[in-house]
Amino acid sequence: MTLIYITTGYYRVNYDTKNWLKIASYLNSKNYKKIHVLNRAQIIDDAFYFTMTSQLNASIFWELTKYLRQETEYVAWYPMIKVLERISYIFHFPDESEYFKTIILEQLEPFLQTIGYNENRNDSYSIKCLRQEAVKWACVLNDSSCKTMALNKLQQHLTNPVRHKLLPGWKKWTYCNGLLIANETVLMSVYYIYAKEIRSKRDTKISLEFLTCSKHFYMNSITMFEDIREETINNINFFHYNVAKHAKDNSVLDYILENWEKVKPKEIKMTTALIDIINHVYSKEQLDKIMEFVKNLKLEPLFIDYSILESINSILFSKVKIFIINLKVLSHLHKNVASSVFIIELVQLCMSHIHS
C-alpha cells in the first residue's frame, strides 16, 4: 500500500475499484493516521463526488466511510458532515431512510463511545465541535442512547442549574432531545420556568422552540396548560414549531385535525395553516387524511373551498418536485431508494385531487 501524502491543488483523484478497496482497507486499519488528515478528508470528499456522478459504486463509498468510527479529527469528518446535510431530507421518510440511518449510526455510535458525550477540560476545540456534530446527528437518526443522555443532562440541570450549567452550544440539544422522551414531571418543570420568565418580562433562558420539541406537551397544551397558555405563548409560533417537528407523527396529525378549531391560531388563515401541515408530512396516508379533512369542511362561500384545494394541489406538486430531486441524489448512494413507491403514490394523489 502506497501512503498518500499531503498535496496542494484543486483537483479530484479517482482510482480503479481495486485501489479504492485497498485505500478503504488501509483506512479501516490502525494505521489510518499514516495518511495525512487532509488526504483522509479528500478521500471521502472525492469518493462522494464520484459516487454521485456514477463513477464509483456506492458500496465502495460506504466501505471507505466505515473508518470514521475511529477518526477523531474534525477536518477528516467534515466531508461526511456535509454528506449528512445533503441527504438529510430523506430522513423524514421511514422506508427510504432506514438503510442510511443504520449505516451512519454504525459509524457514530462507536465514535461517541470513544470520545464520550461530556466535554473534558483538556479537549481541543476541534474535538468539542466534532462531538457536538456527532451527538446532533445521532439524535436526528433516533439513536436511543443519544436521547437518554440528553434527558439525563436536562434532569441534572433542572435539579441544580449552577452545578450543571449548560454551555451555549449544548442548550438546544439538551432541551430538545431530552424533552422528546421526558415524562410529565420534567415537562411541567420546564414549562413553569418558561412561563415565569415570560411573566416577569425578562430575557428567557428557555425558548418556546425548546418546549415544542415534546409532542406530549403540545397534545396536552389545551387541557393541561389552558389556564396560563394564552398569556405566555405566541400562538402562531407555537403552532408552526409543533407542525414542523411533529406533524409527520400520525398521532399528532390526528390531534391537530380533530381539534382544528382549538389548535389553529385565529391570527392565520386556514389555507396558510393547512399548507404548513402539508409541507411537514411525508406519507400518502397522511396527505389523503388532510385532503379528506378539507373536503369535509363546511365553508361559506363555496369558492373558498376551491381556493384551498387549489393552493394545496400547488404545494403537493412542489413536494413531488423536491422529492424527485432528492431521490435522484440518493439513488446514487443506495439502489433500493430508486424503487421507492412513495413518489408514484404522491403523483397519483395530486392527479386524483386535481381531477376530482
Give tens-digit pLDDT for 253-263: 999 999 998 88
Alpha-carbon span 43 to 93, nearest angstrom? 29
- Rounded mean pLDDT, 163-191: 91
Taking a C-beta distance cutoff of 8 angstroms, is the pair 101, 68 a contact?
Answer: no
Q: How confident is the model at residue 168 (pLDDT cuts 50, 70, 90)?
A: confident
Residue 292, pLDDT above cutoff 80: yes
Q: Which CATH fold would you assign to the domain 1-142? A: Zincin-like fold (1.25.50)
Q: Where in the chain is the domain with CATH 1.25.50.20?
A: 1-142
Taking a C-beta distance cutoff of 8 angstroms, is the pair 284, 94 a contact?
Answer: no
Residue 339, pLDDT above cutoff 50: no
Distances (CA, A) of 173 to 28, 74, 153, 339: 30, 19, 10, 35
Residue 351 has a pLDDT of 47
Range of weakest confidence among 48-52, 113-117, 143-147, 276-280: 276-280
Residue 252 has a pLDDT of 94
Residue 153 has a pLDDT of 96
Query: Which single residue is written with the C-alpha cell 456527532?
Result: 134
Residue 356 has a pLDDT of 47
At 66-79, the pLDDT tens digits run 999 999 999 999 99
Residue 92 has a pLDDT of 83
Cell of 10: 484543486
Judge if the upstream peptide bond of residue 79 is cis by omega within 30 degrees of 0: no
Closest CA to 58 of 102, 106, 100, 101: 100
Closest CA to 277 of 295, 296, 309, 253: 253
Taking a C-beta distance cutoff of 8 angstroms, is the pair 153, 166 a contact?
Answer: yes
Residue 212, pLDDT above cutoff 60: yes
Q: How confident is the model at residue 227 (pLDDT cuts 50, 70, 90)?
A: low
Amino acid residing at 267: E
This model's pTM is above 0.85: no
Q: Which residue has the higher pLDDT, 356 or 33?
A: 33
- Rounded mean pLDDT, 106-117: 94
Residue 64, pLDDT above cutoff 90: yes
